[in-house]
Amino acid sequence: MTSRLPVVGVMGAGAHAHRDLAEPLGRGLAHLGVHLLTGGGPGVMAAVSRAFAEVGDRVGLVIGVLPLMEGLPKTGPPAPYPNRWVEIPIRTHLGRLGADPLSRNHINVLTSDVVIALPGSVGTASEVELATAYRRPIVLLGDLDRAKGLPGAVATASSVAAALAFVRRELGIR
């Protein structure tokens, strides 16, 4: 009998990699024995996926929830989706941004057992809002000012180590 590995969703900017946070986070998550879920694109999504995938003894996989090319029906995800480290691409009919019911961000958040949000823009902000609305455990890493004004108590981490400790606590990993 096999047991299901937890899924940790990492949300963040598509335009900036924030490697100082994303790379050690990806390696740390790989060593925790979890699956990594991202939006499957560039920036933070690629940086965390690459670092995770490069850990040789990991058991988890890199999952990417891919958007449909907006404005061109049924043509598939826009370039550069998926990034080359995505091992399980989940192709959707949904758009990239926002909390709209037709946004893939709902899938990103609902599939994740724990969410880690790195600095980002509109898409990341909507994922943070969705995580609080769906009562998913979430920790903000990096731009901690984002926690101000969010509904409920959103955890913050001032370091990658603190974010990984949050994940361990939420998942019951020693």
Q: Model confidence over 78-89: pLDDT tens digits?
A: 777 899 999 999
The answer as to whether 60 is a domain residue is yes
Domain hosting 39: range is: 7-171
Answer whether 0.85 is exceeded by the pTM. Answer: yes
Retrieve residue 120's tokens. 């980002």
The reported pLDDT for the residue numbered 77 is 67
Least confident among 19-23, 94-98, 111-115, 127-131: 94-98
pLDDT in tens, 109-139: 999 999 999 999 888 989 999 999 999 999 9
Length of the chain: 174
CA distance 167 to 91: 27
Prior bond of 78 cis (ω within 30°): no
Closest by Cα among 30, 12, 34 to 21: 12
CA distance 64 to 82: 7
Quickly state the pLDDT bin for 163 (edges 50, 70, 90): very high
The answer as to whether 150 is a domain residue is yes
The answer as to whether 2 is a domain residue is no
The reported pLDDT for the residue numbered 76 is 65
CA distance 94 to 52: 26
